[in-house]
Structure 1
Amino acid sequence: MTLLRVRGLDVYKGFLEPARQAALIDALRPVLKAAPLFSPKVPGGGQMSVRMTSAGQFGWYSDASGYRYAEQHPSGRNWPEIPEAILEIWRQLTGQERAPECCLLNYYGEGARMGLHQDKDEADFSYPVVSISLGDDALFRIGNLSRGGKTESVWLNSGDAVVMGGDARLTYHGVDRIRFKSSRLLPKGGRINLTLRVVA
């Protein structure tokens, strides 16, 4: 494993070995069965190119009326619990006793991307955000604490993890593109990104 410091973010290259990556995919199967992926709308009427779902007490949600956390999947069912294997990663990387209340799962298929944004719908920014990459390579763009200015990019590979905390907690970030089918972890290709957050 190699730790990179990029604009205040800690990027752990090779944090999860292949066997642990595969075990995480197995742990996510019941989550995806209980809370299937959906394509969120955004304010203004557009639609995100990623599909998503969540686990935990809260799930992140977006529709024409805005961005927010919701206590139920669009189907009306409660979100499933966050698998223990994912909570263990949170504890390893943060040392926090308090567990995250949301594990947002974003699936990037061919051509999917995520524009520069801040994670700012949480109540307390003193807790970090932890991101885990599984599957295809992604070009991760890191900006500033305000919109605009120069950015820096780094390729995230399957098994990499990113911690956004401290002064960098509200850094703008996004995913410009993925290398579709660059990984064999997901049989049909694509990338899963898990984002762990303390919400309330």
Structure 2
Amino acid sequence: MEEELFGRERAQVAPGAVHVPDWLDGDRQRALLTACRDWARPPAGLRTVRTPGGGTMTARQVCLGWHWYPYAYARTVVDGDGSPVKPFPDWLGVLGRRAVSDALGPDAVPAAPYDIALINFYDGDARMGMHRDGDERADAPVVSLSLGDTCVFRFGNTATRGRPYTDVELRSGDLFVFGGPSRSAYHGVPRVRPGTGPAGLGLAGRLNITLRVSGL
């Protein structure tokens, strides 16, 4: 990976959906990982998400700003330890706005501040089924940051969980932003590739930090 003949280039995967490889350098990845480890500690820490049908998500999650549970938001961890959700830090919102500007241009930066972070941890066996981010009341672009192991990120269409879709390889430090006509597109993670993260990062598994504007 480190000695590829041609470097990876940014790509528009769909209208309003852009992949920016290596957006976070090594220092920024390590700083973000340190923050994620702090956020994952209880109370209101990393938890297993249970669906209304009795199933469980294989990726574990911690939330900032607003607590997401299927399929709503709350100010406390209503499906966990009941603690108040951890605050959303201002610096993370600044990072999200810069991500949108770099990926989609300054005109796409939302007027309202980013105020939700969903942080998902994937071990080697974890997956995420095709879904839409539709519980917010705002249509601001979604910002996705990757740390650790490489994954296959499947980005689909707005009408169905099936084809057409595009599989994108997301590596540690990559940015993916989707908004505009792709804001309600189905997407998921069918596969994580264990042992592919940067050796110097010190993370076994994959972390995905997703930033959203609640509109709440």
TM normalised by structure 2 equals 0.84
- Residues of 2 paired with 1:72 and 1:191: CA distance? 25
Q: 1:144 aligns with which of 146, 151, 157?
A: 157
Alignment of 1:30-179 (within 5 A): 30-33=38-41, 34-56=43-65, 58-62=66-70, 67-73=71-77, 74-94=80-100, 95-125=109-139, 127-147=140-160, 148-179=162-193
* Residues 44 and 82 in structure 2, CA contact (< 8 A), matched pair in contact too: no
Quote the residue 2:20 is aligned against.
12
Shift of 1:68: 1.3
* Residues 148 and 203 in structure 2, CA contact (< 8 A), matched pair in contact too: no
Over the aligned positions, Cα root-mean-square deviation in angstroms equals: 1.7
- Residues of 1 paired with 2:112 and 2:44: CA distance? 24
Kindly indicate whether residue 188 of structure 2 is the aligned counterpart of residue 193 of structure 1.
no
Shift of 1:120: 0.5
Shift of 1:27: 2.0
Identity of aligned residues (%): 37
Spell out, residue by residue over 1:85-143, the C-alpha distance to the aligned partner (whole angstroms, 9 max, x if none). 42222120233342222100000011100011111111122x11111111110100011
- Residues of 2 paired with 1:185 and 1:55: CA distance? 27
Q: How many residues align?
A: 194
Letter paired with 2:208: N
Letter paired with 2:29: Q
* Residues 61 and 118 in structure 2, CA contact (< 8 A), matched pair in contact too: yes
TM normalised by structure 1 equals 0.90
- Residues of 1 paired with 2:32 and 2:94: CA distance? 11
Spell out, residue by residue over 1:134-163, the C-alpha distance to the aligned partner (whole angstroms, 9 max, x if none). 111010001111113321101000011111
Shift of 1:26: 1.4
Letter paired with 2:22: G
3-state SS of 2:134 partner: coil
Letter paired with 2:11: L
User: Between Structure 1 and Structure 2, which shows a larger proportion of strand residues?
Assistant: 1
3-state SS of 1:2 partner: coil
Gaps of 5+ in 2: 1-7, 101-108
* Residues 131 and 161 in structure 1, CA contact (< 8 A), matched pair in contact too: yes
Shift of 1:178: 0.5
Kindly indicate whether residue 7 of structure 2 is the aligned counterpart of residue 3 of structure 1.
no
- Residues of 2 paired with 1:138 and 1:85: CA distance? 26
* Residues 58 and 126 in structure 2, CA contact (< 8 A), matched pair in contact too: yes
Shift of 1:188: 5.2
- Residues of 2 paired with 1:185 and 1:49: CA distance? 26
